[in-house]
Structure 1
Amino acid sequence: MPVVMPDKLTEICKSILVRLGLSEEDAFIIADSTVKADLRGVHSHGIMRFPSYIPRIESGVVNLHPEIETIAEGHSYAWIDGDNGPGQVVAVRAAEIAIKKARKNGVCAVLTRNTNYLGMLAYYTMKIAEENMIGIMFVNAPPFVAPYGCREAKLGTNPISVAAPTGRDFPFVLDMGITSGVVGKIRLAALKGERIPENWAIDKYGRPTTDPEEALEGALVPIGEAKGYALGLAVEILSAVITGGSIVPDMPHPIFDLSQPPNLGNTIMAIDIETFVGVDEFLDRMNSLINHIKGCKKAEGVSEVLIPGELEYRLEQKQLKEGITVHEETWKQIGLLAEKYRVGLEMV
């Protein structure tokens, strides 16, 4: 499989998007967030997704030049309408608002409606963490998950992300949905002809399956059974019910449904550390907490206990130097798009 340097991959994707009519700035945000997902090993939201963005743009279902409107705001909140703009672009704008208001007022929650698929949540919460703040984000998703006790999909994977500085090379980064597996990884397994773990999904009859094709016809199962299901409902409330975005019964697929805008909603929050214990004390306390965790008695066969975000950071640093391995079929699709929009794959 081809190995591509991340800056080259970003430039290729950005150039295709510019040819499609996006501004240089907005095209970079989408390309950068896509490649960042692969750098951190979140391939389900990485370059394999990029070809699916193009039909949405070509069909006009995404507004490439949104007029992002503030519906309501106060010292510590804002409610914005994304004007059906690219999800990545609107989410970056929401994060910027959250950072600015939190710096003045300690905390800020920005609620967003009328936006599109935005990829890896950590891309946005990490931007907040870089400002010595804690970033929190909630997003709902189309119905792929069977609630506890059901055998059909009625709830989304509904991810949540939390990022915070640690004073070390890597930030703390939680970025997870309410399932052990995600649809993107199941699609990737189907593409590669691989099996999936036993605890990921059920088939259309409600039986556990390791066949990704059967899983795509059935449903994912929540982690922790009833607890994962309850967490998913909480995220639905925080990301869609309160924002005016599509709730799961009314949500078209934000990637594959070209018939209408998805009206996705999400909530992003920033907590300014300096307002409370102060950055220096916070980092000291974080370091003490991390040392406490890493100093534990390790289970048999375990050489190191990692902090959430640490493994992804190491992989990112490795791939920044060595390049990203791109699946052959995905690279073929990128090549066809590059040819169609007159972008050279050897342009960098």
Structure 2
Amino acid sequence: MSVRVPHDRLAAYCGQVFERAGVPPAVAATVADSLVYADLRGVESHGVVRTGIYLKRAAEGMIDPNAPVTLVRDDGCTALADGGNNFGAHVGAVALDLAMERAKRHGVCALGVRHSNHFGTGAFYVQRAVEQGLALIVLSNASQTMPPAGGVRPFLGTNPVAFGFPTGRPVPFVLDMATSLVARGKIIVAAKRGESIPLGWAVDKEGNPTTDAEAALDGAVLPLGGAKGSGLSMAIDILAGVLTGAGYGPTVNNMYDNWAEPQNVGHFFIAIDIGRFLPLADFTDRLGRFIDLMKAEPKVPGTPEILHAGEVEHRLEATRRRDGIELPDRVAEDLIALGQTYDVAWIQ
């Protein structure tokens, strides 16, 4: 069973719950928007299902919702920010604004972030950049949930990377992917629903392949493409963690298990002013023709259309903005319980 709710009311509800929990209004709104945006695009693993764990970490002092995001270094086209252990979505949004402003001024900006937390989907940030005619690459590390290729126990995070480019069309090019075969959050959602997972997604704690979501959460998700995904995850960790002074590998603390230390997640934003290379209209025209050439390619039998990265999510977002977001009963029940805790009435 499930509950369908309008996306704007869901964002307002979650934002109000965060506020009643002591989160400043602007921070609460950004975090809620980030969670609902993930649900709109079908990335339920990063959606409102995370509301409870975010609030619990703040209540336990593992997140400081009042901390400012500060610049440790600012050399124009490069910068380093300290998130002060605030909510990751807020830290990411502030860092993005800093990176975009500097890219417009200098042509490009590479901005690292340390002392942050889980920041949601990379698409949340690249979407904002492409709306301003910028290209954006976003990297983030995460706590260890994935073995290196050939390993058994978790050592690397499912460290995501996202690319965003404006196309001059309603649908931008947005590639947002984890370096694991599947985002661990999808396994969390499956466990909440009492569902099994496909064979090949994960292994149990002994390193055996499993379809049991709970056993997978005790074990590890597998790298995308074996050694390739493992290597890419480590490269992301070098930029987002080692270079920034954030945690890396097993020193990024798990938000579900570690209640003694902040996560110290690291991010890395690369913002590019397209106009420094080509007039934006020329770029989008060339990219549009590239997309058209791809779509005209011969299709595998049974494939109605060739899609570029971001199209599936864009269409789903349009549908859910119109029809509402369908929440599994268990997720809705958890949200209702949180609302009762903080005296916020459920969506009517």
- How high is the TM-score relative to the length of structure 1? 0.97
Once the two structures are superposed, the pairs formed by residues 54-133 of structure 1 within 5 Å of their partners are: 54-133=55-134
Query: What's 1:47 paired with?
Result: 48
Once the two structures are superposed, the pairs formed by residues 73-222 of structure 1 within 5 Å of their partners are: 73-222=74-223
Deviates more, 1:39-48 or 1:78-87: 78-87
Q: What is the distance in 1 between the residues matched to 2:216 and 2:89?
A: 28
Q: What is the distance in 1 between the residues matched to 2:153 and 2:58?
A: 31
Query: Aligned with 1:83: secondary structure?
Result: coil
Mapped contact 1:107–1:269 kept (Cα < 8 A): yes
What per-residue deviation string (whole Å, max 9, x for no partner) do you get for residues 234-266 of structure 1? 011011000000112222113543222111111
Query: Aligned with 2:85: secondary structure?
Result: strand
Query: What's 2:330 paired with?
Result: 329
Mapped contact 1:98–1:269 kept (Cα < 8 A): yes
Query: Aligned with 1:206: secondary structure?
Result: coil
Q: Does 1:267 align with 2:268?
A: yes
Q: What is the distance in 2 between the residues matched to 1:205 and 1:261?
A: 28
What per-residue deviation string (whole Å, max 9, x for no partner) do you get for residues 168-190 of structure 1? 11111111111121211111112
One-letter amino acid of the counterpart of residue 74, structure 1: D
Once the two structures are superposed, the pairs formed by residues 297-316 of structure 1 within 5 Å of their partners are: 297-316=298-317
Query: What's 2:292 paired with?
Result: 291
Deviates more, 1:108-117 or 1:246-255: 246-255
Query: Could you tell me the percent identity over the aligned residues?
Result: 37
Q: What is the distance in 1 between the residues matched to 2:214 and 2:308?
A: 33
What per-residue deviation string (whole Å, max 9, x for no partner) do you get for residues 92-122 of structure 1? 0110011101001110011111111111111
Query: What's 1:254 paired with?
Result: 255
One-letter amino acid of the counterpart of residue 267, structure 2: N
Query: What's 2:233 paired with?
Result: 232
What per-residue deviation string (whole Å, max 9, x for no partner) do you get for residues 146-165 of structure 1? 11111111111010011111
Q: What is the distance in 1 between the residues matched to 2:153 and 2:320?
A: 39
How far has the Cα of 1:202 moved from its partner? Answer: 1.5
Q: What is the distance in 2 between the residues matched to 1:38 and 1:25?
A: 20
* Ranges in structure 1 where 5+ consecutive residues have no aligned partner: none
Query: Aligned with 2:154: secondary structure?
Result: coil
What per-residue deviation string (whole Å, max 9, x for no partner) do you get for residues 191-222 of structure 1? 22222122211222222222212212221111
Root-mean-square deviation (CA, aligned residues, Å) is: 1.2
Mapped contact 1:53–1:255 kept (Cα < 8 A): no
Mapped contact 1:114–1:265 kept (Cα < 8 A): yes
Mapped contact 2:23–2:66 kept (Cα < 8 A): yes
What per-residue deviation string (whole Å, max 9, x for no partner) do you get for residues 113-142 of structure 1? 111111111101211111101111111111
Deviates more, 1:288-297 or 1:142-151: 142-151
One-letter amino acid of the counterpart of residue 91, structure 1: G
How far has the Cα of 1:317 moved from its partner? Answer: 0.3
How far has the Cα of 1:78 moved from its partner? Answer: 1.1
One-letter amino acid of the counterpart of residue 245, structure 1: A
* Ranges in structure 2 where 5+ consecutive residues have no aligned partner: none
Mapped contact 1:52–1:256 kept (Cα < 8 A): no
One-letter amino acid of the counterpart of residue 233, structure 2: G
One-letter amino acid of the counterpart of residue 240, structure 2: S
Q: What is the distance in 2 between the residues matched to 1:338 and 1:273?
A: 44
